[in-house]
Structures are given as C-alpha cells and as structure tokens.
Structure 1
Amino acid sequence: MFTELSDVEWHALRDLICDRPVRTERRGRPQVEQRTLTNAVLWVLFTGESWSKLPMQYPSVPTCRRKLNEWRESGMLDTILKRLQQSGRDISACAGQVSKPARSTPCGDTDRLRGVFWTNPASWKPPVAVR
C-alpha cells in the first residue's frame, strides 16, 4: 500500500525537486504542483502498477512518465530514494523499478505474426509464422 509523502519527507525533497524558477508568463498549461507529481511517480514505483492505473488525483500519465524518465536519466531518482530512506521510508518495494527502462516494444502475445504489410488487396499473401 502506498502512502503519500509526509511533510517531513517532502521537506527533505523539496529543495532537490523544486529547483526551477516559477514561470511568470501565463502561456501554456498551468504548472503541475511538484509534490503531487512526485507522489504520482512514487505511486507507480512503490505499487508496481502500470501507468494506466494511475489514480485520477495525480497529473496526466505523459507528464508523470516524462518526469520519471528525466529523473532516471539524470540520476536524481536515486538521490530522491536515498533521501526518502534517510527520512525513514522503506524503499525496498521499489528497488527493482528504479533501473527498469521504459518499455520500447508493445507487450502482448509473442506468438503473433509480424512483418505483415498490405499495400493493396491484390498483393496480399498469407504471413509466414515466426518461431
């Protein structure tokens, strides 16, 4: 079961996560509150659930996934988890999720036929099964 960041945990992370200056112009979408975004990313890591099951109270899936990928690439995710551990949170539940790369190929049946290209009905031929 996932519990959102406590005030103590957020205080330990705030300076690390909220390092960008606030935008003053009013163009584009409103910025997402960083604590909520952090909770969303941690929800996926700690529960092991897919992005499609992200609760509605959190920002959009693309926003959260982009932030997670950004944190992984920069190494900041490791720092965030270390600080959470120092604050007393058990991070063993998400240990395998930290270095897990984003899925590059769609999941599904591995038996499905691949390489079927149909340019016009006259050129269609049955596909060859890949084994």
Structure 2
Amino acid sequence: MERFVLTDARWAQIERHCLGKPTDPGRSGRDNRLFMEAVLWIVRTGSPWRDLPAMFGNWSTAFRRFSDWRNADVFKRIFDALSGEPDMEYAMVDATIVKVHRHGQGAKGGLRGRPQVARKAE
C-alpha cells in the first residue's frame, strides 16, 4: 500500500472543486485524487515532471492536466477552500530557521557602538 498525503477529510473539501467529474460532459479525469497526490509529490520533492513515479501515471499526461487546471484557476479555488481553516503552523518562528546577519552578530565590518567619553573640563 502506498502512503499518500491527502486525508479523507481534506479530499472531501477538495473534491468538489476539481475538474472532470463523472457527471461533467466530455472528457473526465479517471482519478482526481491520484492526480492531486501526484501534484503534491511534485511540490513536496521539487522534482521535475519527468521524474514523476509510474504509480501516478504518465508524467506528460499529468503535466498537461496540471496546466489545464492551472489555467482554469482550479488550484486557486482549492487554496481558497482550504485556507478558511488555517493551522498557523507556517507562522511559527524558531531560532533554527532564523539567521542573524553578520552585522547584527558583531562581526568585523559591522556598525559598532562606540562609548561616548565625556571630555574633562579644563
């Protein structure tokens, strides 16, 4: 059994926004959920479409379908549907991912605070 990213609850939210339902006239997608898993695999790995695993089908067909959905703003509708319940995980700030510029660390070449020495009155 393959491990997928989409849960049944998330798929229920996404499914109504997909193109190619069996009730639509003309060409319909065989498995919209598998296609969405393919898109998520590409996004997660950063791989080119040609490296799409065979379990997701032909890479060229998947890319053409992705292009059609992109042009029809399907992904924007899916984003809008899912963004109503933000989990705010992306907004967490941690010191492991926040780097300070070298000038802020007191490295050579940065601005330095020089102590103000009051001159003696003569």
Q: TM-score range by the shorter chain?
A: 0.5 to 0.7
TM-fit CA distance, 1:73: 0.8
**Residue 74 of structure 1 pairs with residue 72 of structure 2:** yes
CA root-mean-square deviation: 3.1
Under a length normalisation based on structure 1, what TM-score does the superposition of the two structures give? 0.51
Distance 1:51 1:7, change over 3 A: same
Query: Once superposed, which parts of structure 1, at least 4 consecutive aligned residues long, lie more than 6 Å away?
Result: none
Overall identity of the aligned pairs, in %: 24
Task: Indicate conservation of the 8 Å contact 1:44/1:51, yes or no.
Answer: yes
Equivalence for 2:14: 13
Under a length normalisation based on structure 2, what TM-score does the superposition of the two structures give? 0.54
Equivalence for 1:56: 54
Give 1 or 2 for the bigger CA radius of gyration.
Answer: 2
Distance 1:31 1:12, change over 3 A: closer
Distance 1:88 1:54, change over 3 A: farther
Specify every segment of 5 or more residues in structure 1 that has no aligned partner in the other structure, as ranges: 24-29, 93-131
The higher relative CO (CA closer than 8 Å, separation ≥ 6) is in 1
Equivalence for 1:47: 45
Specify every segment of 5 or more residues in structure 2 that has no aligned partner in the other structure, as ranges: 91-122
